[in-house]
Amino acid sequence: SEFCLHPAGDTPSSCRLFDAIASLCIPVIVSDDIELPFEGMIDYTEFSIFVSVGNAMRPKWLTNYLRNISKQQKDEFRRNLAGVQHIFEYENTHQSSKVSAPEDGAVNHIWKKIHQKLPMIQEAVIREKRKPEGASIPLRCHCT
């Protein structure tokens, strides 16, 4: 397929996106607000198409929109997909193995993201501990 639809679901990511990237199929992400894996580390606009839910629901809008994307733009998206494809590959390495996970592979990207979020999570936990009894102040951790 040239394009792979990725409608927003009830989880931050799904296998549809990983499958699209693995097969160099241009992801068409249908969402008004979606959290994508490894955001902040990769720029999805370089290899994905973003479409609002409202536009996607309009009769024939999406097919017309996709048909009007030039071959040059599709080729560029696929080149960029090939450049990030390895990030989405999960290596099956064991602690006893002498082979470590690739530096720019999915496992290391997950650890980097955890490292980035950890200070915010720690602050939120400390803030929660000092909250006076009966206070209705919401937890302010924007950890996603």
CA distance 14 to 26: 15
- pLDDT tens, residue by residue, 47-79: 999 999 999 999 999 999 999 999 999 999 999
State how far the Cα of 18 lies from the Cα of 25, in Å rounded to an integer: 10
Domain-by-domain residue ranges, the chain?
Answer: 3-88, 100-131
What's the pTM value of the predicted model, to 2 decimals?
A: 0.67
Take residue 40 and report the two structure tokens written for it.
């902040």
Output 88 or 50, whichever has higher pLDDT. 50
CB 24 within 8 A of CB 81: yes
Distance CA 137, CA 128 (A): 9
pLDDT top residue among 65 and 138: 65
Helix/strand/coil for 25: coil
